[in-house]
Amino acid sequence: MAEARLAVAFQFQVTDEGEIKVHLDRRILVDVYRSIRRVIRRKLFKSRNAAIQSVFPATGISWSIFFVIFGAMQILGETSDTVSAIQDKIPQFGRLDPVTRTILVTLVSTTLLWLVWSFFLRNLLKLLLTYKGWMWSPHGKLSLPVKAWMGICKVIIGRRPKLMSLQNCMPKLPVPSVSETMNRYLLTVRPFVNDEEYARLRNLAEEFQTGLGKRLQRYLWVKSWWSSNYVSDWWEQYVYLRGRSPLMINSNYYCLDAIQFTPTHVRSARLANFITALMKFKNDIDRQTLAPRFAMGTAPLCCEQYPRTFSTTRIPQLVQDTIEHYVDSKHVALYSRGKWYVLNVIAGGRQLSPIELQKQIIWIEEASLTDVAAPGEADLSAMTSGERSKWASFRETFFSKGANKHSLNLIEQSLFVAILDDSEPGYDPENPDMLNNYAKGMLCGDHIWYDKSFSVVCFKNGKIGMNAEHAWADATIISHLAEECFNWDIELGYDSSGNCRGQPRDDTILSPPRRLRWDIPAEAVDQIAVARNVADGMKEDLDLHILKHDNYGKGFIKTCKVSPDAYIQIALQLAHYKNQGKFCLTYESSMTRLFRSGRTETVRSCTSESCAFVRAVLDKQPIVLQSQKEECKALLKSAVNRHTDLFRESMSGKGVDRHMFCLYIVSKYLGEESPFLQEVLSEPWRLSTSQTPYGQGTHTDLRKFPDRISAGGGFGPVADDGYGVSYIIAGEDNIFFHVSSKKASSHTNSRKFAADISEAMQDIRSLFQ
DSSP string, 338-355: TEEEEEESEETTEEPPHH
Is pLDDT above 80 for 589?
yes
How far apart, in whole angstroms, are the C-alpha atoms of residue 716 and residue 251?
8
Whole-number pLDDT of residue 7: 44
* Helix axis angle, 564-580 to 750-766, nearest 10°: 120
Q: Is the pLDDT of residue 307 over 60?
A: yes
Q: Which of the pair, 721 or 707, is modelled with greater confidence?
A: 721
Indicate if the pLDDT at residue 733 is higher than 60: yes
Residue pair 704/602 in contact by the 8 Å Cβ criterion: no
Model confidence, pTM: 0.91
Q: Is the pLDDT higher at 632 or at 98?
A: 632
In this prediction, residues 170-186 reach a mean pLDDT of: 96
In the chain, DSSP finds a helix count (H) and a strand count (E) of 24, 22
Q: What share of the chain is helix, strand, coil (3-state, %, to 5)?
A: 50, 15, 35
CA 547 to CA 545: how far, in whole Å?
A: 7
Are 438 and 463 contacting, i.e. CB atoms less than 8 angstroms apart? Answer: yes
CA-to-CA dists, residue 359 to 27, 366, 571, 766, angstroms: 20, 11, 49, 55
CB 586 within 8 A of CB 685: yes
pLDDT tens-digit map of 37-95: 766 777 777 787 778 788 889 888 888 888 888 777 766 665 555 555 655 566 655 56
Strands 454-459 and 417-421: parallel
Alpha helices in 190-330 (DSSP H): 195-210, 212-226, 232-234, 267-286
Q: Using DSSP, state whether 215 is helix, strand or coil.
A: helix
Q: Which residue has the higher pLDDT, 478 or 99?
A: 478
Residues 260 and 434: their CA atoms lie apart, in Å, by 13
Q: Is residue 373 helix, strand or coil?
A: coil
Q: What's the pLDDT score for residue 4?
A: 43
Q: Please give the pLDDT value at position 55.
A: 84
E strand or H helix that includes residue 89: helix 80-89
Query: Residues 144-165: pLDDT tens digits?
Result: 999 999 999 999 999 889 999 9
Mean pLDDT confidence for 700-728: 89
Assign 769 a pLDDT band (cuts: 50, 70, 90).
confident
What is the model's pLDDT at position 66? Answer: 81
Q: What is the mean pLDDT of residues 547-564?
A: 93
CA distance 5 to 25: 10
Mean pLDDT of the chain: 90
Long-range contacts made by residues 694-702, C-beta under 8 angstroms, separation at least 24? 694/479, 694/483, 694/728, 694/729, 694/730, 695/483, 696/293, 696/476, 696/479, 696/480, 696/483, 696/484, 697/480, 697/483, 697/484, 697/487, 698/483, 698/484, 698/487, 698/488, 700/487, 702/730, 702/731, 702/732
Can you name the residues that pair with 251 across neighbouring β-strands? none
Count of alpha carbons within 13 Å of 388, Cβ hemisphere only?
A: 22
- The 10s digit of each residue's pLDDT in 198-241 is 999 999 999 999 999 999 999 999 999 999 999 999 999 999 99
Measure the CA–CA gap between 33 and 41, rounded to whole angstroms: 12
Alpha carbon 411 to its chain's center = 21
Tens of pLDDT, residues 239-281: 999 999 999 999 999 999 999 899 999 999 999 999 999 999 9
Active site members? 470
Label residue 698 by pLDDT band (50, 70, 90).
low
Q: What was the pLDDT predicted at 42?
A: 72
% residues pLDDT > 90 (the chain):
75
pLDDT at 25 over 70: no
Torsion of CA 371, 373, 379, 383, to 10 degrees: -120
Strand extents, DSSP E, 285-381: 294-295, 299-300, 312-315, 322-325, 331-336, 339-344, 346-347, 350-351
Residue 15 binned pLDDT confidence (cut-offs 50, 70, 90):
low
pLDDT value of residue 5:
43
User: What sign does the CA torsion over 150, 154, 156, 157 have?
Assistant: positive
Q: Is pLDDT above 60 for 101? A: yes
**Which spans in 90-164 are helix H?**
98-129, 144-157
What is the arithmetic mean of pLDDT over 660-679?
A: 94
Share of the chain above pLDDT 70, in %: 90
Q: What number is the average pLDDT over the span 525-530?
A: 97
pLDDT band, residue 341 (cuts 50/70/90) = very high
The rounded distance, in Å, linking the Cα atoms of 255 and 480 is 11
DSSP run (H or E) holding 586: strand 586-591
Q: Identify the pLDDT of residue 6.
A: 41
Banded pLDDT at 707 (limits 50, 70, 90): confident
- 1 pLDDT band, cuts 50/70/90, is very low
Q: What is the C-alpha to C-alpha distance for residues 524 and 530, in angstroms, rounded to an integer?
A: 10
**From CA 133, how far away is CA 751, in angstroms rounded?**
41
pLDDT in tens, 382-420: 999 999 999 999 999 999 999 999 999 999 999 999 999
Q: How far apart are CA 228 and CA 171, in angstroms?
A: 9
pLDDT digits (tens, 9 = 90+) for 282-304: 999 999 999 999 998 899 999 99
